[in-house]
Amino acid sequence: MEILVCVKRVPDTAENEFQLNSAGNDLDRDDLVYSVNEWDNYAVEEAIQIVDRVGGNVTVVTVGDSESEEVLRREMAMGANNGVLMSDDAFEGSDGKGIATILAGEIKKGKYDLVLTGAQADAAAGQVGGMLAAMLDLPYASLVNKIEIEGSKLKIGREIEGGNQEMNEIELPCVLSIQTGINEPRYVGIRGIRKVAQVEIPVKDAAALGVDPASVGDAGAKVKRVDYFVPVLGDGAEMLEGSTDEIIAQLIERIKSKGGLA
């Protein structure tokens, strides 16, 4: 099975304190720690496990700048066979549809049986997978947490509200967005990264992908982020300060009054 997995380099939510830049139109990105989008790691692991079972290749692709190459290498160290970086100044400022248009360019050129994306990335949109499928006229299912291959069809589970699982049958080729927890992504050590450090990663621009530059990037975007701000929801928490002992004394008093301590 030929599997394409879309991956994105994103700021790590567990590692960063997000600050706005002085103009307020972007995050202060200087000291941000980036990693591969959590959901995409599960998608790549799933692709590798499928290929281990039935044969084939895993190709990882990303739309981004030269720094995005590092996430391709990381996923290749996990076991993906090929990587492609899609990069062009014309891609800058793309909305979800723009990203999907660029990715569709690569998919139309290849012969993929299965395309995987993460359920969502840093902007928490969860849009690219469904858009890709619609553009390519392929069947789609989101939030997939189980995949079984049954000939030219897949039996898949979708995680729905309450953690219940909606089982579906879907024809190949198809696009699936992967939910976390579907597998346990393998650990990538520094040695694994070193092994793929020299592998050539092709870079494709709009022309190479057959994408009209006017349909992507800022030029093609109908949806545009104007600014960032830090939300003020309600009054916010009462912050306890002082020495640990003082904080704990205040906290115990409050928990008691709310019935949290017998």
Partner 1 sequence: MTQIYVYVTHKGGVADDIASEFIAAAKKIDTGATVTAVVTGSGADLDKIAQSLTSKYAEVIKISDPALAYPNAEVIRKALCNVLDKSAILLAPHDTLGMDLCPGLSIKMDSAFAADVVDFEGIDGGKLKLVRQELGGAVSTHVTCDISNGAVITIRPGAFAAADASASGKVTDKPAGDLAVKRRFLEVVQAEVGDVDITKSDVLVSVGRGIQEQENIAIAEELAEAMGAVVSCSRPIVDAKWLEKGRQVGTSGKTVKPKVYMAMGISGSFQHMGGVKGNPYIVAVNKNPKAPIFQVADVGIVADILEFMPALTEAIKDLK
- Per CB under 6 A, 126 contacts ligand AMP: yes
**Which letter does DSSP use for residue 240 in this model?**
P
The site string for ligand AMP over 196-215 (x = CB under 6 A, - otherwise) reads --------------------
The one of ligand FAD, ligand AMP, partner 1, none whose footprint includes residue 152, by CB under 5 to 8 A per kind, is none
Which of 178/256 has CB closer to ligand AMP?
178
- Strand, helix or coil for residue 144: strand
Task: Give the nearest distance from C-beta 75 to partner 1 in angstroms.
Answer: 18
Least spacing, CB of residue 161 vs ligand AMP, in Å? 19
76 DSSP 8-state letter: H
Among 77, 141, 196, 209, binds partner 1 (CB under 8 A): 141
What separation in angstroms does the CA of 178 have from each of 56, 90, 93, 111, 135? 19, 29, 25, 21, 19
- Give the tokens for residue 114: 């299965």
Q: Which of 120, 127, 145, 183 binds ligand FAD (CB under 6 A)?
A: 120
Q: Does 21 bind partner 1 (CB under 8 A)?
A: no
118 binds ligand AMP per the rule CB under 6 A:
yes
Compare residues 136 and 143 and give the one whose CB is closer to ligand FAD: 143
* Per-residue burial over 49-84, b = 16 or more CB atoms within 10 Å of its CB, e = otherwise: bbbeeeebebbbbbbbeeebbbbbbbbbbbbbbbbb
CB 229 within 8 A of CB 112: no
63 belongs to the binding site for ligand AMP (CB under 6 A): yes
- Part in contact with ligand AMP (CB under 6 A); list of ranges 25-33, 60-68, 69-77, 216-224: 60-68
Among 54, 148, 168, 212, binds partner 1 (CB under 8 A): 168
Interface characters, 18-47, with ligand AMP (x: CB under 6 A): -------------------x-xx-------
Alpha-carbon span 262 to 255, nearest angstrom: 10
Indicate which single residue of 119, 174, 176, 211 sits in contact with ligand FAD (rule: CB under 6 A): 119
Please check whether residue 24 is in contact with residue 228, taking contact to mean a CB–CB distance below 8 angstroms: yes
Q: Which stretch binds partner 1 (CB under 8 A): 17-25, 50-58, 64-72, 189-197?
A: 17-25
Tokens representing 109 are 């050129």
| Residue indicated by tokens 């590798």 | 48
Best CA proximity match to 182, nearest among 202, 168, 165, 162: 165
